[in-house]
Structure 1
């Protein structure tokens, strides 16, 4: 486990883990020469906007957690807000272009187009399943930051 993963795991409050994940994703993008813009206010459905080859992408940053099956991580693809009347859950369709996901379990950053995600959550597998099933699996190598970025350069969504 890397030092970054150990430090991340030591953060007890979910808010701090979210802030750390945002900082890690921003750093990963900036270190690749990508301009990152941050909204002035916290009421936008996206956390950052990235400029890639003169196109702008609205990005929601998430932290992946260990899935219930070994060798996989999972993240939520909808927002949950606490209201006086209970919880409000809402999807991101039409509001963002990409999810950027930091997975502290394997210290990887993923970039996933929203149209490739399920409505409530997505599982990304980094190890082969023990039962041998390989159908309908979201393999981590297909979503690694350096694998997805080139496709954005040639096929902008905006």
Structure 2
């Protein structure tokens, strides 16, 4: 993988998510600008689902993937990080570009982490991490799950 900046990594992740949604036959809406707390909206079976897209990076020291659970806002002078709230989006979709894997995580679970989620892709672990339940969990986006 090329050495890329975070904006480019985010753009790549967003396009990968869009491609997966298109392959599933879902409609996709994209907000103008990046001031909203979500990146995309999927229309699935008449329901609108707000999606926050995140790109994970590989932590070589810990041998796992990491994603920041905070929102980053920038202005001309500083970069601010703040926690998302339950109303900001419905699901976070985390893209692990190096292995082309997606994690689909409901907002309540996503914001329950303090600042980072560590995603373990190694088979060497004795017990499955909590995050494994969300690996490629596209079924969570069906309208029955969202409307509950």
- Asked if Structure 1 and Structure 2 have the same fold, meaning a TM-score greater than 0.5 normalized by the shorter chain, the answer is yes
Corresponding residue for residue 142 of structure 2: 152
1:20 aligns with 2:12: yes
Query: SS of 2:48's equivalent?
Result: strand
Bigger mean CA deviation after superposition, 11-20 or 82-91: 82-91
Query: SS of 1:155's equivalent?
Result: helix
Q: Deviations over 1:99-132 (max 9, x none)?
A: 11110132112211111121312112222455x4
User: Whole-Å Cα distance in 1 between the matches of residues 138 and 8 of structure 2?
Assistant: 27
Among candidates 51, 58, 65, match of residue 73 of structure 1: 65
Query: Deviation of residue 19 (structure 1)?
Result: 0.9
Aligned length: 144
1:45 aligns with 2:37: yes
Structure 2: gaps (5+ residues) = none
Does the Cα contact within 8 Å between 1:123 and 1:138 map onto a contact in 2?
A: no
Corresponding residue for residue 97 of structure 2: 104
Structure 1: gaps (5+ residues) = 1-8
Corresponding residue for residue 6 of structure 1: none
What's the TM-score once normalised by structure 1's chain length?
0.78
What's the TM-score once normalised by structure 2's chain length?
0.83
Bigger mean CA deviation after superposition, 26-35 or 77-86: 77-86
Does the Cα contact within 8 Å between 2:140 and 2:146 map onto a contact in 1?
A: no
User: Whole-Å Cα distance in 2 between the matches of residues 151 and 45 of structure 1?
Assistant: 18
CA RMSD of aligned residues (A): 2.3
Residues 27, 76 of structure 1: alpha-carbon distance in 2 compared, 3 angstrom cutoff: same
User: Whole-Å Cα distance in 2 between the matches of residues 111 and 127 of structure 1?
Assistant: 19
Corresponding residue for residue 4 of structure 1: none
